[in-house]
Amino acid sequence: MKAFLKRLIYGAYEKKLSLGVAEGPLPHHLGVILDGNRRYAKALGLPVAEGHKYGARKVRALLSWCVEFKIPVVTLWVFSLQNFARDPEEVKALMELFVEQAEAMTTDEEFIKHGIRVKVLGRREGLPEHVKNALENLELVTKDRTGMLVQIALGYGGREEIVDAAKAYLSTASKEGKSMSEVIDGLTEETISKNLYNGGVPDPDFIIRTSGEVRLSGFLLWQAAYSEYYFLDVNWPAFRKVDFLRALRSFQARQRRFGK
């Protein structure tokens, strides 16, 4: 009986929150650092791989909530370049999970219904060939869709992205035969932004990080200069819709100043 009453009260609270949030301004680009899969598994006495599987299922739930609130762009950080240094068995399990999820997303009915497009951000050269193929196929299958854009940061590092953007600019300038003075004059914030992995996509206005860590760890380092941040103690697989709604409510209560 207590469990039933708790679910009833929780459901009513979630509905009230949802109605309130729907009336206010919402992020145009939401970034999420999915942290705490391993801690979640450890707390439940489960293998680390199970924690990542729970986390993958929560991603699908999050995307459905973002569709509900018509958030145009969502960027998810699922695997950093530093994560390659983890236990080889954990990395291998993660790679297989990425393939499994990429293949599932290509035929997902909700993705098709809502026209969800997927783009992968990061350095792909360190990924196994079958992982790269699965990700490229997912991008290809969804590239002409016009609904929400989901960017998956995988093999991603913020500093490395800026370095790669500078290299891309210099490479183009070299091919165009520009002189050193022309190259220097052409190196601006705009040219760096244009050459980032997600060049042309608006910067994130709101970033959520789970698990209690209060830092960006290099996530969208260039793009997040004026983002609003929200940190919470919940491990990623335990992230609930009510947590999502509370985060959005916090965003709506802020006055964005853009450094002014």
pLDDT digits (tens, 9 = 90+) for 201-221: 999 999 999 999 999 999 999
Per annotation, catalytic residue among 37, 83, 195, 243: 83
For this structure, is 83 an active site residue? yes
pLDDT in tens, 94-128: 999 999 999 999 999 999 999 999 999 999 999 99
**Statement: residue 4 has pLDDT above 90:** no
Q: Cα(142)–Cα(112) distance, rounded to whole angstroms?
A: 8
Q: What is the pLDDT of residue 7?
A: 76
Per annotation, catalytic residue among 35, 37, 198, 235: 35
**Statement: residue 9 has pLDDT above 80:** no
pLDDT in tens, 38-73: 999 999 999 999 999 999 999 999 999 999 999 999
Torsion region of 217: left, alpha or beta (phi above 0 gives left; psi -120 to 50 gives alpha): left
Is 92:130 a contact under the CB 8 Å cutoff?
Answer: no
Question: Per CATH, the architecture of 28-157+203-251 is what?
Answer: 3-Layer(aba) Sandwich (3.40)
This prediction has a pTM of: 0.94
Closest to 221 in 3D by CA, of 126, 54, 81, 118: 81
The DSSP bridge partners found for residue 150 are 74, 118
Q: Cα(73)–Cα(161) distance, rounded to whole angstroms?
A: 19
